[in-house]
Amino acid sequence: MTYEEARAKMSAIGQEHVFKYYDELSAEGKAALIKQVEETDFSVLGKIDKGAGSDRGKFSPLAAMQLPEIEARKQELHDAGVKAIKEGKTAALLLAGGMGTRLGSDNPKGMYDIGLTKPVYIFERIISNLLDVVKETDTWIRLFIMTSEKNHEATVKFLREKNFFGYKEDRIVFFKQDMAPACDFNGKLYMEGKDRISTSPNGNAGWYSSMVRAGLDKILTDEGIEWIDIFAVDNVLQRICDPCFVGATVLANVSVGAKVVRKAAPDEAVGVICLEDGRPSIVEYYELSEEMMNAKDANGEPAYNYGVILNYLFRTSELAGVTDDRMPLHVVKKKIPYIDENGAPVKPTSPNGFKFEQLVLDMIHQLSTCLPYEVIREHEFAPIKNPTGIDSVESARELLKKNGVEL
């Protein structure tokens, strides 16, 4: 793209100010800005007012596989899972492209040390949990790690220094997720430098399209990977590719398995798995009507009772049918670093604009069938979002200790 073309592209959407400092840039800076203009999808800016999920369909309950059934079928589920893992049909994908702004550390979230008497890093906990399955099945599961351009170098350097916490390096593949532009509340793009428009990772649903863009879907095909377990970096207790979950999903012959926990209270602030117009979906707690909150299933249990914990086992052959433009775009108020009118960098302390995200949970609705699989919250759900309080370093430490992890 030439400078003239880049200018025309931006002036057509009223964003010519991104070239304000163009004349003072080095040749390299000029080329970088033009490349960014060429590669960035600015169509998100036109969707600020639309928001996500405004037109929801008709909700109905979706039964989960509950603990008693899992216990009764333990051997059968376990054997089916071990078989799929041993046959190399299962991979894992760590979502580590987020900015972790609530935690407030400048480093990638996985580098956060939650230890008390010794260093215990978030990445270390996650890898240790996956290593349990590697040891049990005697199989090195392919591990994809999604970073973003904001944290890629730091993540790779850290894990390399730590020798990947014992994981086999040649079984790990890193890739960067795509970025989306960020703007102020009036839709005007922020600049994060004189030669760079502010961007942020395009949301955790970006994993599939970013993986395809990096050419990595070829690994899935070449290695015969039929299932991929997508999980968040911040749940330090979660089990990944654990045989019973894999086995239950494979045997149920569904498009996706979703780990869920029983809600602590009818109005708990978690996304609840259900059906929407007959397809699996997640209804946010604030979208639950009084009637849905009180609805009961055949056993007299609450019908909308299982919250998702961002651990999904996707059937890879169905991913190509999940397309970005069918999924809602979430417009989120965030703190966006920028340069002011004098070119000086500003790090805001409160939200100053919008970023644009697509979320993994919206991928579920693109698929035809889902098995919600119950796990015990105290054993598998210790998310770290904040330094203190709910879903924090503090609460996760307590849960880790209860599960016998030394900190």
Q: Which spans of this chain sit near ligand UTP (rule: CB under 6 A)?
A: 95-102, 109, 146, 177, 201-204, 206, 232-234, 357, 385
- H or E stretch at 272: strand 272-276
Amino acid at 254: V
For ligand UTP, the closer CB: 19 or 356: 356
State the Cα–Cα distance between residues 83 and 75, nearest whole angstrom: 12
CA dist., res. 234 & res. 372, Å (int): 21
Task: Provide the minimum distance between the beta carbon of 186 and ligand UTP in the complex, in angstroms, as a whole number.
Answer: 23
Shortest separation between residue 310's beta carbon and ligand UTP, angstroms? 6
Instruction: Quote the CA–CA distance of 153 and 151 in Å, as a whole number.
Output: 6
Residue whose token pair is 């059937």: 315
- Provide the minimum distance between the beta carbon of 401 and ligand UTP in the complex, in angstroms, as a whole number: 23
Smallest distance from the beta carbon of 335 to ligand UTP, in angstroms?
9
User: Contact at 8 Å (CB) between 30 and 195?
Assistant: yes
Q: Residue 65: how many CB atoms within 10 A of its CB?
A: 22
- Residue 351 near residue 357 (C-beta atoms within 8 A): no
* Amino acid at the residue 365: H
The smaller minimum CB distance to ligand UTP, of residues 70 and 237, is found at 237
Beta strands in 53-203 (DSSP E): 59-60, 90-95, 142-147, 172-176, 179-181, 183-184, 191-193, 196-197, 199-201
Nearest CB to ligand UTP, comparing residues 198 and 204 = 204
Longest dimension (CA), the chain: 71
In the bound state with ligand UTP, the residue whose beta carbon lies nearer, of 96 and 261, is 96
Question: Three-class SS of residue 256?
Answer: strand
CB of 128 to ligand UTP, least distance (A): 17
Which C-beta is closer to ligand UTP: that of 206 or that of 243? 206
Q: What is the DSSP letter of 113?
A: B
Instruction: Report in angstroms how near the CB of residue 205 gets to ligand UTP at its nearest.
Output: 8
Cα 131–chain centre separation: 21
Task: Give the shortest CB-101-to-ligand UTP separation in angstroms.
Answer: 3
Nearer Cβ to ligand UTP (201/353): 201
Shortest Cβ 393–ligand UTP spacing (Å): 13
Cβ distance to ligand UTP smaller for residue 19 or 144 = 144
DSSP state of 321: G
Q: Determine whether 404 is exposed, middle or buried from the number of CB atoms within 10 Å of its CB (0-12, 13-18, 19+).
A: exposed
- Using only C-alpha atoms, the chain has a radius of gyration, in whole angstroms, of 22
Residue nearest to ligand UTP (CB): 98
H or E segment to which residue 332 belongs: strand 330-334
**99 versus 252: smaller Cβ distance to ligand UTP:** 99
Supply the minimum distance, in Å, between the C-beta of residue 398 and ligand UTP. Answer: 20
Q: Structure tokens of 124?
A: 């270390």
Q: Which is nearer to ligand UTP, 61 or 201 (CB)?
A: 201
CB atoms within 10 A of CB 12: 10
